Structure 1
Amino acid sequence: MPNALTRRGVVVLSAVCLACLMFGLEISSVPTILPTLEKVLHADFKQLQWVMNAYTLAVTTVLMAVGALADRYGRKRVFLISIAVFGIASLICGVAADVRTLIVARFLQGMSGGALLICQIAVLSHAFQQGRERAIAWGWWGVIFGIGLGFGPIIGGGIVAVSSWEWVFLIHVLLALIAFLLTLTGVDESKDPLAGRLDIAGILTLSTGVFCIAFYITQGPDLGFTGTTGLVILSVSVASLIAFVIVEKVSARPMFDFSVFGIRPFSGAIIGSAAMNISFWPFMIYLPIWMQAGLGYDSVTAGLALLAYTVPTLVMPPFAERLSLRYQPGLVIPAGLFTIGVGFFLMRFGIVSAHPNWLTMLPGCLAAGIGLGIANTPVTNTTTGSVSSDRAGMASGIDMSARMVSLAVNIAIMGFILASGVAAYLRRALPELDASQIRPLAERISGGDSASIPGLTDPIVHEALATGFGWVALYGGIGVWIMAALSFLTFDAGISRKPKASETGQSQ
């Protein structure tokens, strides 16, 4: 660690960086083991989706609550509890004997992971308040967070190759123990004497609404989208989201202050935040399935191939910052989103080509990663920088919630589109199959399970997967382009000029 930090500062930063590494790895490393989980735990496609969605939905559930809890009861105390629960949940994940236990443990892991994310930001902000040491601390935090997200696929694949899938989770037990001891000995306690009470109604209504819509999309083919059960779940989701808006409007201390959406740069950036999570991040959940089941790669080779998708997100942010200073976020963010869309269309061409391999996927993966790297940092800086300093924490919470909600919903949507594309091909290729057999078969193929299906040839499986993934790439490309246009139109019309300092947080 740099000499500019004190010994205590190094301890605090080490604890925080371990926490952010654990949080990022549990998003990006788990997708590479989904095909393995399908085999060893006999998980079906919907269950594989819930292995990922349980984590992201749980993060969303606690995001806005933990900040208030930490401010009231102590940031160090809540941070320690979060680390301990994350370690225990990781242990349960690692010893899970069936996929249902794993999904429940992933939800617990996600709740503690969301708490880790909020607490580490609060601890870092309190511990490093001076200019140079603050810049060093946040710089290291960003690098480690990026490593967790960017190198997660190869780390997960490598762990499976040298050991077993369980250690993708069990390694966090050791990391959590180290982070706990560092926090216990090095972090000072801090509270906010003016902290308000918890917005329980807001938390419950938002969580219920998001969970029900994800459940409706994921389970819809079985429940019936227009059947009684499906429509009841959809109605509960809509009613909960409407109730959330009403609750936040009348609350004296709302979790979401909707007035900030009147600030055009803030709204444009939030659209960008959601756009990245209807395209780039949910697709990373499914890409390992294509690499392994579609292209025939092992987990390590798939992880290496995915580096083309993730590494550009780490190297592009400094360039994006320079672009933002010169051209304004209102141009840079939509341009980054547009580039993600280009990447998705290139990936679609690579997927449906005559002989797909990592080379046919490379241009699209690189373009999508470059686009994400261009848009991501300006989105974060704009959401917090376009509001007054006393609302920066709330703005950051809205940004992170937008990311997690859109990610959770689009994991479900992409899974539905993937299975639908596979089913469409099977109907054409195997007309003798009964209609009731098509969807279950499509979901098994979409989850990477084809070896145990009698009478199904490799060319049919490959073409079915190519059709499904082609549909998903098309959805991601069109979706992110639409969001790019909305973001561009939402930003202040004067994006070609730099705003005056007095205008920051005032543009309506």
Structure 2
Amino acid sequence: MIKVTQTGKNTVALVAVCLAALMFGLEISSVPVILPTLETALHSDFKEVQWIMNAYTIACTTVLMATGTLADRFGRKRVFIISILLFGITSLFCGLARNTLVLIISRFLQGIGGGAMLICSIAILSHQFREGRERGKAFAIWGIISGVGLGFGPIIGGAIVTVSNWQWVFLVHVGIAIITMLLVLRGVQESRDPQAKKLDVAGIISLSLAVFGLVYYITQGQTIGFRSIAGLSILGAAVLSFIIFLRVEKKHANPMFDFSVFSIRRFSGAIIGCIGMNFSFWPFMVYLPIYFQSALGYDIITAGLSLLAYTLPTLVVPPLAERLTLRYQPRIIIPSGLLMIGLGFLLMRYGSSVAHASWLTMLPGSLLAGIGLSLTNTPVTNTTTGAVTPDRAGMASGIDMSARLITLAINIALMGFILVEGIYSYLESILPGSVAPSQLHTAAEKIAAGLSAPGLPDATAHAALVHGFGWVMLFGGVGVCILALVSFLIFGPKEKTVVRVTA
């Protein structure tokens, strides 16, 4: 029998954790590029397409804080295996889905597995690699593979649909999950926290209901009526759930969110960075493929290649971001990164409005936004966890990830709403007043989904779509620039180093 050394086990464990990170990254960045294909294949409407993405995001948020506690109590390796198994099985369900409802439910369950995988991956790396140099190298490799999943996801998703069909964008994870599970069994050490905290069930449920209610109100508000009794009831329930969450966290002995950390300026400034990145950059990933395919007329492969300019900086720039952060401090780098994202969006808006718009006119803005994201991403995480004492680092990391995913879920819905309203505004300005608003909204939703609207000339639909995307890019650009300023002000002036002289 061959005896595996500890170094060999660590290598196997690192490969397993990296494969999990690859799957998680691909599910975020490869699915948006196939959404137009899913609309046609499953006869989905625009709201359903939003939920295909948001179901995954909201589910990740739901399990984020619970997973860390469960893994500490029942074993990180055990919970990691369960999460991989769940991710693999639900990926199979996604691939076999024959209607949108089944796909949305499967995506929610897949998000539970994905969120749990992410948290367990970080915990396992932290436990298995403890020496400074070895630990740094392991996290660096994990970060690179995560970047590969996020950066190359669009072209991988496009290529899979071109050579096969959309189902394999999900089914490919079944095989990867099996390999990952075998590697986990072989190389990952089991670990627990004998002083594991009690699960904050009330906090998890109330926060999840608040996020779900707000997203549902934004996406379905036009159908049920924003000011109707049903619409206002949903909004009221979301607000009430959030108030309950705040009260629960203040009274809980071991809360998910210890709000006292927000009094630390470095922590709060970095959290605004988390919110800024997911205010525009990542939610726009859902809609940018629609722009490339419907507004510019690109096929799915060309659209995926065009998206590389948007995502590849997330793979290349992070090492530079680390060096710049050490030299100039997070208080400068994080707001600067957000400002670059905002300016990138404004450049993309300009590039989309020129007479002969193409991927080349979008390239400067896409690159600038991607570089800005890369300058912000790693420094934000390092700052939130480094701003607190080591025993609170896990809680700080949980707030970091929750801020990202909650902002992402809300802004996927907001950007979709703004896109439809922008298209509606254009149609309303050029079509006769005899056309009912309900008909205009129906046409706007079809155009936003990249579909043809009956009775409308293609040129009109195209112009309306470009106009709507202009609204979205303006929203993303101005919003992130404002958040950059807020982050800079919260960070405040440079902290003075106090030198103590002893006699």
TM-score by length of structure 2 reads: 0.97
Q: What residue is the counterpart of 1:356 in the other structure?
A: 357
Whichever residue aligns with residue 41 of structure 1, its letter is L
Whichever residue aligns with residue 474 of structure 1, its letter is L
Q: What residue is the counterpart of 2:52 in the other structure?
A: 51
Q: What residue is the counterpart of 2:95 in the other structure?
A: 94
Superposed counterparts of 1:16-27, under 5 Å: 16-27=17-28
**What is the Cα deviation at residue 459 of structure 1?**
1.2
CA contact (8 A) 1:5 1:133 kept: no
Q: What residue is the counterpart of 2:160 in the other structure?
A: 159
- Partners in 2 of 1:196 and 1:374 — Cα distance? 34
Superposed counterparts of 1:70-469, under 5 Å: 70-431=71-432, 432-450=434-452, 453-469=453-469
- Partners in 1 of 2:315 and 2:173 — Cα distance? 23
Give unpaired runs (5+ residues) of structure 1: 503-508
- Partners in 2 of 1:263 and 1:79 — Cα distance? 32
- Partners in 1 of 2:454 and 2:344 — Cα distance? 36
- Partners in 2 of 1:32 and 1:39 — Cα distance? 13
**What is the Cα deviation at residue 150 of structure 1?**
1.1
CA contact (8 A) 1:344 1:474 kept: yes
1:94-125: per-residue Cα shift (whole Å, max 9, x none)? Answer: 00000000000000000110000000111111
- Partners in 2 of 1:235 and 1:455 — Cα distance? 39
1:443-467: per-residue Cα shift (whole Å, max 9, x none)? Answer: 11101111xx333222112111100
- Partners in 2 of 1:500 and 1:249 — Cα distance? 34
**What is the Cα deviation at residue 430 of structure 1?**
2.4
- Partners in 1 of 2:424 and 2:141 — Cα distance? 46
Q: What residue is the counterpart of 1:506 in the other structure?
A: none
CA contact (8 A) 1:150 1:310 kept: yes
- Partners in 2 of 1:132 and 1:429 — Cα distance? 63
**What is the Cα deviation at residue 492 of structure 1?**
3.2
Secondary structure (helix, strand or coil) at the match of 1:278 reads helix
**What is the Cα deviation at residue 5 of structure 1?**
8.3
- Partners in 2 of 1:373 and 1:322 — Cα distance? 12
Q: 1:501 to 1:111 in 2, by over 3 A?
A: farther
Q: What residue is the counterpart of 1:476 in the other structure?
A: 476
**What is the Cα deviation at residue 429 of structure 1?**
2.7
- Partners in 2 of 1:82 and 1:224 — Cα distance? 38
Secondary structure (helix, strand or coil) at the match of 1:259 reads helix
- Partners in 2 of 1:143 and 1:490 — Cα distance? 30
- Partners in 2 of 1:217 and 1:422 — Cα distance? 17
| 166-175 vs 124-133, which moves further | 124-133
1:358-400: per-residue Cα shift (whole Å, max 9, x none)? Answer: 0110111011011111111111110011111111111001000
Q: 1:427 to 1:21 in 2, by over 3 A?
A: same
Secondary structure (helix, strand or coil) at the match of 1:277 reads helix
Whichever residue aligns with residue 29 of structure 1, its letter is S
CA contact (8 A) 1:324 1:332 kept: yes
CA contact (8 A) 1:417 1:472 kept: yes
- Partners in 2 of 1:136 and 1:110 — Cα distance? 28
**What is the Cα deviation at residue 500 of structure 1?**
6.5
| 401-410 vs 147-156, which moves further | 147-156
- Partners in 1 of 2:499 and 2:219 — Cα distance? 46
Whichever residue aligns with residue 490 of structure 1, its letter is I
- Partners in 2 of 1:501 and 1:315 — Cα distance? 38
- Partners in 2 of 1:96 and 1:224 — Cα distance? 30
**What is the Cα deviation at residue 63 of structure 1?**
0.2
CA contact (8 A) 1:58 1:110 kept: yes
Whichever residue aligns with residue 440 of structure 2, its letter is I
Secondary structure (helix, strand or coil) at the match of 1:62 reads helix
Secondary structure (helix, strand or coil) at the match of 2:409 reads helix
- Partners in 1 of 2:95 and 2:377 — Cα distance? 32
- Partners in 2 of 1:356 and 1:323 — Cα distance? 34
CA contact (8 A) 1:150 1:314 kept: yes
1:488 matched to 2:488: yes
Q: 1:423 to 1:501 in 2, by over 3 A?
A: farther
**What is the Cα deviation at residue 501 of structure 1?**
11
- Partners in 1 of 2:498 and 2:450 — Cα distance? 54
Identity level (%): 63
Q: What residue is the counterpart of 1:505 in the other structure?
A: none
Secondary structure (helix, strand or coil) at the match of 1:356 reads coil
Secondary structure (helix, strand or coil) at the match of 1:151 reads helix
Q: 1:501 to 1:244 in 2, by over 3 A?
A: farther
CA contact (8 A) 1:87 1:176 kept: yes
1:270-294: per-residue Cα shift (whole Å, max 9, x none)? Answer: 0110011011110111000000011
CA contact (8 A) 1:268 1:487 kept: yes
Whichever residue aligns with residue 383 of structure 2, its letter is T
- Partners in 1 of 2:138 and 2:38 — Cα distance? 37
Secondary structure (helix, strand or coil) at the match of 2:493 reads coil
Q: 1:393 to 1:500 in 2, by over 3 A?
A: farther
Give unpaired runs (5+ residues) of structure 2: none
Whichever residue aligns with residue 468 of structure 1, its letter is G
**What is the Cα deviation at residue 320 of structure 1?**
1.4
- Partners in 2 of 1:198 and 1:192 — Cα distance? 13
Whichever residue aligns with residue 286 of structure 2, its letter is I
Superposed counterparts of 1:31-70, under 5 Å: 31-70=32-71
- Partners in 2 of 1:187 and 1:478 — Cα distance? 45
Runs ≥4 in structure 1, deviation > 6 angstroms?
Answer: none
**What is the Cα deviation at residue 250 of structure 1?**
0.7
Secondary structure (helix, strand or coil) at the match of 1:252 reads coil
- Partners in 1 of 2:17 and 2:499 — Cα distance? 32
Whichever residue aligns with residue 311 of structure 2, its letter is T
- Partners in 1 of 2:425 and 2:356 — Cα distance? 21
- Partners in 1 of 2:16 and 2:47 — Cα distance? 35
Secondary structure (helix, strand or coil) at the match of 2:279 reads coil
Aligned residues: 495
**What is the Cα deviation at residue 187 of structure 1?**
1.1
